[in-house]
């Protein structure tokens, strides 16, 4: 984020900051993205993403095959415990 944008954030002159900029500000300041979104009056989701989108977003260096293996393992563990991931996924 350029210095001018930071100054405008600090001055409160950006009334509807773009979510992408908010994410970058949060990351630069080591803050929770959810906290920054809430402070900017954005709705913050209360549910969690399903496993695959979470893994893709959080662990960007994992390969597709790694993510598929993790999904398979978690599905097997869920089945062993008597439930399906479809029962718990919200996304």
State pTM to two decimals: 0.54
- Asked whether residue 45 is assigned to any structural domain, the reply reads no
- Asked whether residue 14 is assigned to any structural domain, the reply reads yes
- Asked whether residue 81 is assigned to any structural domain, the reply reads yes
**Domain count for the chain:** 2
Q: What is the pLDDT of residue 1?
A: 72
- Asked whether residue 44 is assigned to any structural domain, the reply reads no
Buried b vs exposed e over 7-30: b needs ≥16 C-beta within 10 Å?
eebeeeeeeebeeebbeebbeeee
Range of the domain at 27: 3-39
DSSP state of 35: H
Asked whether the beta carbons of 37 and 44 are under 8 A apart, the reply is yes
- Asked whether residue 7 is assigned to any structural domain, the reply reads yes
Mean pLDDT of the chain: 86
Considering the domain architecture, whether residues 81 and 60 belong to the same structural domain is answered as: yes
């Amino acid at each position: 984020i350029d210095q001018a944008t930071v100054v405008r954030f600090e001055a409160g002159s950006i009334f509807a900051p773009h979510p992408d900029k908010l994410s970058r500000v949060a990351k630069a300041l080591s803050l929770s993205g959810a906290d920054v979104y809430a402070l900017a009056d954005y709705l913050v989701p209360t549910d969690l993403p399903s496993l695959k989108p979470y893994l893709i977003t959080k662990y960007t260096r994992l390969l597709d095959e790694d993510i598929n293996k993790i999904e398979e393992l978690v599905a097997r563990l869920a089945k062993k415990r008597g439930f399906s991931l479809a029962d718990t996924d919200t996304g």
